[in-house]
């Protein structure tokens, strides 16, 4: 563009006018929009489908009402002013597109990646054992509950690092629930809306024993596995045990990929049968099953779900006979790295350990209760759909 040759002179007005020159033209099945030094190209079919006029788009519900027709093409394209482009279509319709709106939807690789990493799902930062202290951000309960900025920052830390601590929460049985309600609403499971983790003499779930609980993700046997775990430390064990264990399974997977690509591939491809058989609160009983590999990805090839739980891996393993032994060998390679990258710390009363249940593995060391000291953790689940829906509103400042 010639704008760059103009001197930044007293003729500021002229400079601005020329600098913001907007042109639009038809290029085969596309429309080219040039503005400043930026050139954008949009498919005509997409432009027609996304007309923003009241006939094609319902403002109140922010929804398309245009019904797609085949063979629609642009007949005339022009820049109306320095902020919008008008297109006359062969279906006798005219559309006007705002330049800012077009810029936000630019198909360039940089713009698409920016949208995915900064608005769709925040880009992950992986951490190993050594980085845990630095990457596990801490928040005050009152700050998260009382300010939108506190709420947004906590959700961002969870999205990026997968883990965050909340300090100084009230010693009330409803604390974890209140935090979930602050975001949206609790995700209910077979174990109820709130679950108490404390040793129970007639435990129906492995977590309800005082024995060590190896690293795992919760509920791998659900197709719709809860996305986040909020664990409120109501009473901590005075014994030396009851320490929390955590590890970033995305980081562990990434290390396995570098170290042993073949094992990595096996754990991304071979489906495992996850199951849980039980009954809770005198209910009818349930038998949950879901088949899925240990390491899973989203549509953009990013890690989006790890499944790992020793007690909840079924003895049914419905893969080809010759896939079984290589799977165990690959699994063992992952466990070796996991042992190196596991961090240990002891939650204090009033702290909430919050983490991404699709990513961060958790467990605890064994402990001893006595009559006056019973370790008690109260947990609730949330779903990422609910967290992200709230976060995007806060981010947009709506």
Q: Which residues bind Zn ion (CB under 5 A)?
A: 51, 53, 55-56
- Between CA 55 and CA 65 the distance in angstroms is 7
**Residue 17 token pair:** 């006018």
The least CB distance from residue 76 to Zn ion, in Å, is 15
Q: How far is the CB of 331 from Zn ion (least distance, A)?
A: 55
CB of 81 to Zn ion, least distance (A): 19
Q: Where are the alpha helices (DSSP H) in the chain?
A: 12-19, 44-49, 99-104, 109-115, 132-135, 141-146, 148-161, 175-183, 249-259, 261-269, 321-340, 384-396
- C-beta of 48 vs 187, nearer to Zn ion: 48
Residue 92 beta carbon to Zn ion: minimum distance, rounded to whole angstroms? 11
Q: Residue 19 and residue 33: Cα distance in Å, rounded?
A: 15
- What end-to-end distance do the CA atoms of the chain give, in Å? 36
At its nearest, how many Å lie between Zn ion and the CB of residue 32?
Answer: 21
Q: State which residue, 3 or 53, has the beta carbon closest to Zn ion.
A: 53
Q: How far is the CB of 53 from Zn ion (least distance, A)?
A: 3
Task: Choose between 51 and 180: whose C-beta lies nearer to Zn ion.
Answer: 51
**In 3D, which of 182, 202, 177 has the Cα closest to residue 192?**
177
Q: CA-to-CA distance for 186 and 180, rounded, in angstroms?
A: 6
Least distance from Zn ion to the Cβ atom of residue 70, Å: 17
Give the nearest distance from C-beta 95 to Zn ion in angstroms: 5
Beta bridge partners of 377: 197, 233
Q: Compute the distance between CA of residue 104 and CA of residue 116 in angstroms, rounded to an integer.
A: 12
Nearer to Zn ion, 51 or 334 (CB): 51
| Cβ 45 to Zn ion shortest distance, Å | 14
Classify residue 242 as left (phi > 0), alpha (psi -120 to 50) or beta: left
Angle of helix 249-259 versus helix 261-269 axis, rounded to 10? 130
Q: Rounded distance, CA 171 to CA 378, Å?
A: 11
Q: Decide whether 59 or 110 has the Cβ nearer to Zn ion.
A: 59
Report how far apart, in Å, the C-alpha atoms of 128 and of each of 125, 154, 215, 245 are.
Answer: 10, 20, 15, 13
Q: What is the DSSP string of 13-71?
A: HHHHHHHT-EEEEEETTEEEEEETTEEEEEEHHHHHHT--STTTEETTTTEE-PPP-TT
Q: Which CB, 51 or 228, lies closer to Zn ion?
A: 51
Distances (CA, A) of 313 to 216, 238, 289, 309, 310: 11, 32, 10, 6, 6
Residue closer to Zn ion (CB basis): 55 or 104? 55
| Cβ nearer to Zn ion, comparing 26 with 56 | 56
Residue 39 or 94: the one with the smaller Cβ distance to Zn ion is 94
Rounded to whole angstroms, the Cα distance separating 264 from 46 reads 39
């Amino acid at each position: 563009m010639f704008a760059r040759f103009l001197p930044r002179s007293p003729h500021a007005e002229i400079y601005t006018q020329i600098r913001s020159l907007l042109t639009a033209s038809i290029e085969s099945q596309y429309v080219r929009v040039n503005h400043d030094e930026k050139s954008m190209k949009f498919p005509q079919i997409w432009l027609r489908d996304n007309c923003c006029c009241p006939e094609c788009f319902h403002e109140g519900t922010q929804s398309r009402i245009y019904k797609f027709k085949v063979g629609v093409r642009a007949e005339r394209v022009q820049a109306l002013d320095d902020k919008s482009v008008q297109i006359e279509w062969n279906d006798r319709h005219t559309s006007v597109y705002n330049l800012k709106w077009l810029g936000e939807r630019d198909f360039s690789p940089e713009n698409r990646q920016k949208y995915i990493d900064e608005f769709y799902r925040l880009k992950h930062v992986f951490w190993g054992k050594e980085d845990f202290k630095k990457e596990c951000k801490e928040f005050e309960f009152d700050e998260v509950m009382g300010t939108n900025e506190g709420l947004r920052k906590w959700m961002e830390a969870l999205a990026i690092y997968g883990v965050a601590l909340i300090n100084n929460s009230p010693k009330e049985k409803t604390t974890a629930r209140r935090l979930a309600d602050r975001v949206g609403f609790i995700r209910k499971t077979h174990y109820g809306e709130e679950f108490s983790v404390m040793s129970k003499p007639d435990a129906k779930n492995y977590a309800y024993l005082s024995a060590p609980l190896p690293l795992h993700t919760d509920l791998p046997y659900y197709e719709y596995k809860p996305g986040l775990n909020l664990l409120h430390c109501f009473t901590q064990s005075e014994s030396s045990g009851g320490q929390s264990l955590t590890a970033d399974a995305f980081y562990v997977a990434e290390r396995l990929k570098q170290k042993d690509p073949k094992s990595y591939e096996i754990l991304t491809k071979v489906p495992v049968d996850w199951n849980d058989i039980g009954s809770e609160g005198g209910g009818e009983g349930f038998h949950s099953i879901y088949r899925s590999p240990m390491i899973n990805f989203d549509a953009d090839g990013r890690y989006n779900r790890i499944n790992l739980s020793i007690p909840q891996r079924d003895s049914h393993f419905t893969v080809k006979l010759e896939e079984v032994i290589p799977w165990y060998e690959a699994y063992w390679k992952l466990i070796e790295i996991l042992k190196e990258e596991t961090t240990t710390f002891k939650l204090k009363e009033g702290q909430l350990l919050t983490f991404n249940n699709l990513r961060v593995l958790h467990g605890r060391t064994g402990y001893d209760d006595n009559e006056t000291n019973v370790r008690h953790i109260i947990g609730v689940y949330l779903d990422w759909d609910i967290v992200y829906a709230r976060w995007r509103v806060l981010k947009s400042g709506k």
